[in-house]
Amino acid sequence: MPKATLMRDHPAARWTAGLVLVAACLTGCATSSAQEISAPPPKPLAPCAWWYGIGQPPTSQEIELAAKRYQVVVLNADQGAAMRRLRQLNPRVKVLVYKDLSSTRNYAGAVDGGQDAVFLPSGIGYVAAQEHHPEWFAQDVNGRRIEWQGYPKHWQMTVWNPAYQQAWTEAVVREVTREGWDGVLADNDFNSLSHYSSAVLAGTANVAETDRKLRDGLDAFLSKVGDALTNADKLLVPNVSETHLLPGRWTAHSRFGGAMEENFGFRENGGTGGLLTFRGNEFQELRAQAALGESMLLLVTRTHNAREERSGYASAALLAGPRTCWTRATTDDYRDPEWSTLQDSGLGEAIDAASRLSNGVWTRTFTHGWVAVNTTASTQTVVPPEDLIAAGASISLPTPTPTPTSTSKPTSTSSTATSTPAPPPLTLAAADAAILIDPQQLVKRGAWRVTRDEFRVGSLWAR
């Protein structure tokens, strides 16, 4: 849930293709433990799709579509029937249940008729905590409970309290095991309370101490929950925030199955700066995790325009690995199953690692395309590979050259061999990206209209 802040740039060197492609023959974002042991690592394919389906109960049509479209789905705890239907339609899909680490809630649906709901969005019910453990409600320096601003009836809990941690863990592991979920999407593994409240916690002197107490508590909490879920053969995927501010936090908090980045490709300085994802140590940690292919990267880009959609998808492609999944988000409440036409572009498999040019542009090559991301706050240029077109563009194919009808031998002439001119430089605006595709791949996939006209790569980029 929390929004992002800004940090600094961090360069990286090119990896060798052989280092990245220790891959073999499995596809998709998620495989069983038995498959991982018995088969070679899956390929670093272009980002797979996932659905953060917590906005409203999914319809039967949405579930059928999800089984065909997504590799990972997150649903609310009261949607067990939808989870089981997904499994029937696609046994390979990973279905996680949403649970909040940091709050309990008493809005309608979480509390009904004065009783906690059977299936909760959190680990501990509001009524149960109120009656039996009121000390689990966090308090400010004035002794008041902390209700999250912008989220009525969400109450901050004492995530640093070992008793709360243990009760939450036991309840969630029991439910996940009983209902048959693949694991937990644990929301609000946050870096700062300031996203929800300006309160200073009781026992701390200021906001900095408050945030440190929460972070330390969540570090211990994640370890306890992760160990318990791992022992139950389940995944823990926290929605961990602002890891660019704290080196090592993404790596530590993703070790039980993966992590979610809810502000992936977020633009700094109120939408006028570069891409926040590439600041600090976060991108390096994401890169390392993606290359290993052992845990999920669930990436969300909030998209209000085509530029944000391009930069989000292309940035995810820079991290493409066996379990790198991306989705756009066009609503704040995730009420719709999302899909981008860029996910139909057919990039294929990564054949090298992402590399950073001296001007701050990152690029990566795939079997059927190429991506470039300008992470900076100013316009940059990059020279693309030949014979590619922008994903989503209309395709123009060359008109066939007529076959000569004459049988006479051509006259011998001396000529100087000419080389094919290099593609023109591609100009990328600040925080923008390009996804270029082999046009023949698009013809095979039937994704875009094909016209018969003279085809010249350079002219397409100037449109």
Q: Provide the pLDDT confidence category of residue 214 given band limits of 50, 70 and 90.
A: very high
- Rounded to an integer, the average pLDDT of 422-447 is 82
pLDDT score at 271: 84
Between 64 and 402, residue with greater pLDDT? 64
- Residue 418: predicted pLDDT: 52
Looking at the predicted structure, is the pLDDT value of residue 132 above 50? yes
Reported residue count of the chain is 463
Q: What is the mean pLDDT of the chain?
A: 84
What is the rounded average pLDDT of the residues 111-117? Answer: 96
CA–CA distance, 361 with 354 (Å, rounded to integer): 10
Distance, C-alpha 32 to centroid of its chain: 20
CATH topology of domain 17-345: TIM Barrel (3.20.20)
Q: Model confidence at 423, in pLDDT bands (50, 70, 90)?
A: confident
Residue 402 pLDDT greater than 90, yes or no: no
Would you state the pLDDT for residue 440?
A: 80
- Written as one string, the DSSP assignment of 121-162 is SBSS-HHHHHHH-GGGB-BBTTS-B-BPTTSTTEEEB-TT-H
pTM, entire model:
0.82
Long-range contacts of the stretch 197-204 (C-beta < 8 A, 24+): 197/146, 197/147, 197/148, 197/149, 197/156, 198/149, 199/140, 199/141, 199/144, 199/146, 199/156, 200/140, 200/141, 201/138, 201/139, 201/140, 201/141, 201/146, 202/138, 202/139, 202/140, 202/141, 202/143, 204/141
Q: What residues does each domain of the chain span?
A: 17-345
**Overall average pLDDT of the 37-63 stretch:** 86
What is the mean pLDDT of the segment spanning 319-340?
94
Q: Which of 39-48, 71-80, 291-300 has the lowest mean pLDDT?
A: 39-48
Q: Does pLDDT of 191 surpass 80?
A: yes
Confidence grade of residue 350 (pLDDT, cut at 50, 70, 90)? very high
pLDDT confidence of residue 28: 40
Percent of the chain at pLDDT above 90?
Answer: 73
Find the mean pLDDT for residues 56-60: 95
By CB neighbour count within 10 A (0-12 exposed, 13-18 middle, 19+ buried), where does 342 fall?
buried
pLDDT bracket for residue 421 (50, 70, 90)? low
Q: Which of 241-245, 407-411, 434-438 has the lowest mean pLDDT?
A: 407-411
Tell me what the mean pLDDT of segment 340-361 comes to: 95
pLDDT digits (tens, 9 = 90+) for 135-169: 999 999 999 999 999 999 999 999 999 999 999 99
